[in-house]
Amino acid sequence: MNRLARFGFYLLCGLIAAFLVLPLLVIVPLSFNPEPYFSFTPAMLQLDPSGWSVRWYREIAESAQWRLALRNSLSIAAVVTPLATLLGTMAALGLRRLPTRPRKMFAVIIASPLVVPVILFATGIYFFLAPLGLTQSFAGIILAHTALAAPYVVVTVGSTLTNFDERLLRAASILGSSPLAAFFKVTLPLIAPGIASGALFAFVTSFDEAVIALFLAGYDQRTIPLQMWSGVRDQLSPAVLAAATLMVLLVTIVMLAAMLIARSARSAGARR
């Protein structure tokens, strides 16, 4: 019975994984389509090398609009990542020091951007930033993306703090370390894997976010997701598939890096 239940569980997990991954696996080969439409050519179906092309990747590299969108996405994510990482780490450390009931209440409030539909979050952010004149500006997008990305850092850093031994800080204090020195010498090295994982999640969250950018960005603040949306809506260009493939590759690399960091942290914890 246990074996049958285990088989059913693995089968269900496999079906869910296939449901999530198969659409992405279709996008990747379609991005090498030499024709200006979204379908496989006969040569592609026959796996003829001459039927595959990097035409749309070349178009992305040569297009001023795509280069602007890429530059904007990277610039915004480069600012959002350290901001969200700093704020999320501070929030996680602060939550740990609160009593149980207020800690749970504030944890729910901080995590609300993760569970509230993004369209509602974007609407609220828009009406908050509009009176301040921060719509159609990089500052507004950075603030909104930081608010969206910081909870991921709180979660990852908070998970590393669950096994943190407070006696280490007391020992450091007894040995003459100031609270600041104890943080940098004791706390920071132990939570560094959580901080690194949170920073990776913050970067990905900002880089591939579309809904908030749709509310707040003007033409000069156009990001990669907005450029993809424009390509699908206005001209249905297969360049969108090439951009989507590159984004999937980037997210995959980041997720693998986060998994490796988490595994190394668990191994280091086991050795200690």
Whether the CB-CB separation of 194 and 161 falls below 8 Å is answered with yes
pLDDT score recorded for residue 40: 76
pLDDT score recorded for residue 266: 60
Whether the CB-CB separation of 144 and 77 falls below 8 Å is answered with no
For residues 220-232, average pLDDT: 86
Residue type, 46: Q
177-198 in b/e form (b: 16+ CB < 10 A) is beeeebeeebbeebbebbbbbb
Q: Comparing 89 with 159, which gets the higher pLDDT?
A: 89
Chain segment 162-212, per-residue pLDDT in tens: 877 777 777 877 777 777 888 888 888 888 888 988 998 999 999 989 899
**Distance of alpha carbon 183 from the chain centroid:** 27
Both structure tokens of 205:
């969250």
What confidence category does residue 38 fall into, taking pLDDT thresholds of 50, 70 and 90? confident
Q: What is the pTM of this model?
A: 0.82
- Nearest-5° angle of CA 100, CA 101, CA 103? 65
Q: What is the CATH number of domain 63-271?
A: 1.10.3720.10
- In the chain, where are the structural domains located? 63-271
Both structure tokens of 237:
């260009």
pLDDT score recorded for residue 111: 84
Rounded to whole angstroms, the Cα distance separating 175 from 169 reads 10
Query: Does pLDDT of 269 surpass 70?
Result: no
